[in-house]
Structure 1
């Protein structure tokens, strides 16, 4: 029967086996190779297994300077896109001996600053951050402090940071070109009023695609805080009334699409007979919607793999000067009945 592991110390193990505390410490911390015989290592490991000893994580952190924790800070961890990536990341990180702390900023700078301050006190090993608006100075501060920082979903064009993002510009152009090839002539874009790279790249991709096709720019940008409000609903309704010629809409986010679909249903606008629809980011409800909604889907598994593997590489090489990890992945157009 295993003893109560909370009462077992390295000193107890050393006394029981007649070995030095240093020897036990080397074996527990995987530093015994070429220092201690295989026979002694096996003896200690067998005893540790027998008594159920678990190293004190706080003490290990003091010895190694690592907490084996990574922060994943995003806009909203409950959003299906971020939660799906988080689920994939968690397993990959765990298999490498790391645990992930998940948190949301609600796209608020003050909240993100407060969270980072707390995580600095906890001495986390790395930060994977989807930065809120106007947050570049805070990212620069983290980097200047030699913190491991990986940007996810958003990046800064004028700064050389590590990042893993979607090819938002190219993916949006492909979505618009697909609608054009399906015979839609007046293609609208509904996005967010923001300077975040994800959304500005999508808007730029739309503008370039309609320009190349000699089509009119029919765009509506809604403030982040108005997306799920009556203000946002009214803006979308007025946009449709102002442009009755619209025969297709590309929504820049899944939340915008949900709002838009409700308004289209309310106004008895038929999909795709009256208006074709494509949105970014797949969700179960888009597949179950009648008709099913065409989406530009982000490669969840690949994004999670790249962001975790990249962060682990940064942790291994720590402060050495090497090329930045900068990954851009393409989206996948999943065609359904709405277009």
Structure 2
């Protein structure tokens, strides 16, 4: 509720930055998918862009050739992301460590090349254009200033957050935490570790597909950059900044990264990466659990100082 209240306030405080704020909301959905896969299930990945791009292209093609309804497009994007994650996950989840990470990157690279070669369908390097969406729920048309797109993205992000909250607190989510901590122990008590990991990866793919579909519908353009390795890497950095294994950490980390990125790049287009790098190093060294753990760390530090004074 606090995050939703801040998002509503941001609409009125920054009315001329709605495109940027909408981008933050879309990235929050993508980082939430990474958090489910990595933070809860313990599946290291640098290829979440594979599902994100699949959802974007699927939603874009669906709008152009079949039906331009936004909600239906979200469903198509989610299905596309889930299918890609499920098919690849059947192989990927049989590996671990560096091999798994490299294979996730390879899947995204393969899909990138397929989209590039299928120029007649995807537009190739020129991107998929001509996406003209119908009004949301048949009433709210996408406007030039981005108001409808912002509220639409906010509603989707809130629903995804709520759904993942329920999922991670359910027995399935708790079993994912157990698998993350000790796959051997979970296997010993009879938990189907392999299939739970495949399922988590597929659900994470569906969420990433929703993020991609949002991008296609709101920007009305899909480019090959949706499969870029940089997108997966940035999503992972955002999650690390906020804190893995906590959905609120994904929201905090994404917002902080994108705001700092926006401000730093605007002030120094050539050296803004220095600011991002310094911020990541500071969090990794002083708050290994992410910014979500800052209140706890501060409370311990304050308590330790009081105890020292008493001594």
Q: Same fold judged by TM-score > 0.5?
A: no
TM-score bracket for the superposition, by shorter chain length: under 0.3
In terms of fraction of residues, the more helix-rich structure is 2
In terms of fraction of residues, the more strand-rich structure is 1
In the superposition, the TM-score normalised over structure 2's length comes to 0.22
Task: Pick the structure with greater CA Rg.
Answer: 1
